Amino acid sequence: MPFEYSPGKPEDLFGKKARVLVAQMTYPDLVHFLLQHRTPEQAEEDLRDIATRICKKLLELWKPKATTVLKLIKELLGLIWGGDMTFKIVQRDDHKRPLLVKFIDKNCKLCQSGEEVLEVSGIHYCSAVSGFVEYLLNYTAQKGTMKLKYKSTDVRTTESKGSGGTQCIHFCTFTY
């Protein structure tokens, strides 16, 4: 097979696959580095920030098809590192629209590498996930592609397996 020599473009990578294990092996070093240089709160914001920027770049190529919140998150997770989430509507507004939604991830790919669960205290270990989800939900809201007509969302990780929790929980607050 003749080689095409070039530094490459994002399109050359998008749609190709790599083992999730590579990201899982590198993520702990990132978290530890941030904790060495930042407070746990800052480190958590850094993780969210990194994820937000990745999602922003990704959306230059990726055109999500889903129009419901849960399907959209499923589509995102399928693309980034697999996994699935369930949800529970905690609070609704007067128009019966969801205000506060709890997303539960029992099999978070960031928090576990195989059978090993890493415990890092003082930080919600998989906060990066909330950065991804928040940016995506706000992006699609602006695009007007969602069935649920919310203005914006705020997503926060409140429990992480990697930080000693029993499951990973992300709370999503919708604004209309």
CB closer to another protein, 72 vs 101: 72
Q: Using an 8 Å Cβ cutoff, are 143 and 169 in contact?
A: no
Least Cβ distance, residue 30 to another protein (angstroms): 6
Q: Tell the smallest beta-carbon distance from residue 166 to another protein (Å).
A: 22
Under the criterion CB under 8 A, does residue 38 sit at the interface with another protein? yes
Residues within window 65-104 making contact with another protein, judged by CB under 8 A: 79-82
Chosen residue from 15, 63, 94, 121 binding another protein by CB under 8 A: 15
Tell me the two tokens of residue 51: 């994820």
Tell which one of 40, 50, 146, 148 touches another protein (CB under 8 A).
50
Least distance from C-beta 122 to another protein, angstroms?
17
Angle (CA) 174 61 107, round 5°: 55
Report how far apart, in Å, the C-alpha atoms of 41 and of each of 53, 89, 109, 125 are.
18, 27, 22, 11
Tell me the three-class secondary structure of 107-123, residue by residue.
Answer: CCCCCEECCEECCCCCC
> Does 7 engage in binding with another protein (CB under 8 A)?
yes
Paired with 154 in beta bridges are: 173
CA distance 25 to 47: 16
Asked if 115 interacts with another protein (CB under 8 A), we say no
Q: Which residues bind another protein (CB under 8 A)?
A: 1, 3-10, 12-23, 25-26, 29-30, 33-34, 37-38, 46, 49-50, 53-54, 57-58, 61, 79-82, 109, 114
